């Protein structure tokens, strides 16, 4: 929901709240026992509360119970009995429904508008408010004979409803209840979301399988441990010698590989300068120089929400940042980068027009030279 649409529906809900409060004022006048009487919402609630309390204490309401002097509960019962005898009971029920229904619909529409999020949740409040407004207009315009009996409470109730309906309809006309354009996604976005969901499910299934396999291995190892204890004592010396030789050979290979890498880097002159930037998508216009300042690392987001949270420092986006971020660390000694993924999205590293590494959540890799980091097809930046 857009900001101005949210403002309009909340303002309409406040107007409906004012409409309900206006009924606490005097809303009608009538004659009882030769006296002119006015009735307000406060008096109705007070009399109803007293009658309910008396009913709970005594098990019933006596006929001489005064609702509003000189009007008693017995007078109400006589009026209902008279309407029943004259065959006007249906008319009395219809009048009661016509009085109570607008108040109930107004209360429901107010609550729904305060809680509404999007177009679907604004439909029912719109219908309720329009129905109450239509009923009030028909009664006030079509039954002019009752105007002398109506007071300010009814007219304010109708006025606030008309104002609320106008605001709600403006929100529909201006498209305020639709999602913002930034949240709209086309077919490519939907496909990308499906792929991301599949990758997450695969990673979860893979982790579950690993846990099950580890449990099985532990059970097997506990059974076989007793049998292997005797054999381990005899073969421990042989294994230790073999392991020493293997470690020495591996160290020699590693040192040779490191020398070769240093020679290749020195020949090609591709040591990185610690500049991260020249990106597109969510990284457009952003750049970091990791050779300046105290920090030689930078954390970037892999979704628009996470990137905005990192830029603004908002605490509301802490969950997004925790699940969708990537850390880039620059090593000035050999001009290389370490890229660590903490994101649900796949991160691809490209060099020379071919993919160098595809990182998943929890993986890290160290790369030398100019590298392009891609998150999807739309978002990438250069590590130079």
Say what the alpha-carbon torsion angle 327, 332, 333, 336 is, to the nearest 10 degrees: 50
> pLDDT: is 185 or 247 the higher one?
247
For residue 185, what pLDDT band results from cuts at 50, 70 and 90? very low
For residue 94, what pLDDT band results from cuts at 50, 70 and 90? confident
Does the pLDDT of residue 180 top 50, yes or no? yes
> Which uninterrupted H or E stretch holds 10?
helix 3-22
Q: What is the CATH number of domain 275-383?
A: 2.60.200
What is the pLDDT, as a whole number, of residue 16?
Answer: 92
Say what the alpha-carbon torsion angle 121, 125, 126, 131 is, to the nearest 10 degrees: 150
* CA separation, residue 260 to residues 32, 171, 249, 255, 264 (Å): 108, 68, 17, 9, 6
Q: Residue 258 has which token pair? A: 């490191």
For residue 32, what pLDDT band results from cuts at 50, 70 and 90? low
* pLDDT tens sequence across 104-155: 999 999 999 899 888 888 999 999 999 999 988 998 888 888 888 888 888 8
What is the pLDDT, as a whole number, of residue 83?
Answer: 65
CA angle 11, 17, 18 (to 5 degrees): 90
Is residue 361 within 8 A of residue 341, CB to CB? The reply is: yes
The structural domains of the chain, with segments of one domain joined by +, span 3-180, 275-383
Q: Residue 245 has which token pair? A: 């030789």
Longest dimension (CA), the chain: 119
Q: Residue 219 has which token pair? A: 């059970």
Cα gap 277→286, rounded to integer Å: 6
Q: Range with the lowest mean pLDDT among 202-206, 253-257, 357-361?
A: 253-257
**DSSP codes joined into one string, 188-237:** HHHHHHHHHHHHHHHHHHHHHHHHHHHHHHHHHHHHHHHHHHHHHHHHHH
> pLDDT: is 106 or 92 the higher one?
106
Does the pLDDT of residue 90 top 50, yes or no? yes
What is the pLDDT, as a whole number, of residue 191?
Answer: 63
> pLDDT: is 361 or 181 the higher one?
361
> pLDDT: is 244 or 120 the higher one?
120
Q: How many CA atoms lie within 13 A of 172 on its CB side?
A: 15
Single out the residue of 2, 44, 41 nearest to residue 25, CA to CA.
Answer: 41
């Amino acid at each position: 929901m857009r900001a101005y649409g949210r403002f309009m529906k909340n303002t309409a809900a406040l107007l409906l709240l004012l409409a309900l409060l206006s009924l606490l004022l005097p809303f009608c006048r009538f004659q009882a026992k030769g006296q002119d009487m006015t009735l307000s919402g406060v008096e109705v609630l007070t009399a109803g509360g007293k009658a309910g309390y008396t009913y709970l204490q005594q098990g019933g309401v006596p006929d001489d119970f005064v609702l509003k002097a000189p009007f008693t509960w017995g007078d109400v019962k006589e009026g209902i009995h008279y309407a029943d005898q004259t065959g006007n009971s249906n008319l009395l029920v219809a009048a009661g429904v016509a009085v109570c229904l607008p108040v109930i619909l107004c209360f429901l529409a107010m609550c729904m508008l305060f809680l509404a999020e999007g177009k679907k949740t604004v439909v029912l409040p719109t219908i309720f408010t329009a129905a109450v407004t239509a009923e009030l207009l028909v009664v006030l315009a079509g039954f002019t004979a009752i105007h002398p009996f109506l007071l300010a409470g009814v007219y304010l109730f109708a006025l606030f409803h008309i104002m609320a309906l106008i605001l709600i309809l403006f929100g529909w006309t201006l498209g305020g209840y639709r999602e913002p354009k930034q949240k709209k996604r086309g077919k490519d976005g939907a496909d990308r979301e499906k792929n991301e969901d599949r990758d997450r499910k695969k990673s979860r299934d893979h982790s579950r399988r690993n846990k099950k396999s580890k449990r099985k291995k532990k059970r097997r190892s506990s059974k076989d441990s007793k049998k292997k204890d005797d054999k381990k004592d005899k073969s421990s010396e042989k294994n230790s010698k073999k392991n020493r030789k293997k470690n020495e050979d591996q160290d020699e290979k590693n040192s040779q590989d490191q020398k070769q890498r240093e020679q290749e880097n020195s020949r090609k002159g591709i040591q990185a300068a610690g500049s991260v930037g020249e990106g597109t998508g969510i990284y457009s216009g952003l750049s970091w120089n990791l050779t300046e300042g105290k920090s030689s690392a930078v954390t970037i987001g892999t979704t628009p929400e996470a990137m905005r949270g990192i830029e603004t420092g908002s605490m509301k986006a802490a969950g997004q940042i925790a699940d969708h971020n990537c850390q880039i660390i620059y090593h000035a000694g050999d001009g290389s980068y370490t890229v660590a993924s903490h994101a649900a999205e796949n991160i691809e590293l490209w060099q020379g027009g071919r993919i160098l590494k595809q990182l998943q959540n929890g993986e890290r890799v160290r790369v030398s030279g100019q590298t392009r980091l891609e998150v999807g097809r739309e978002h990438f930046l250069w590590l130079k």
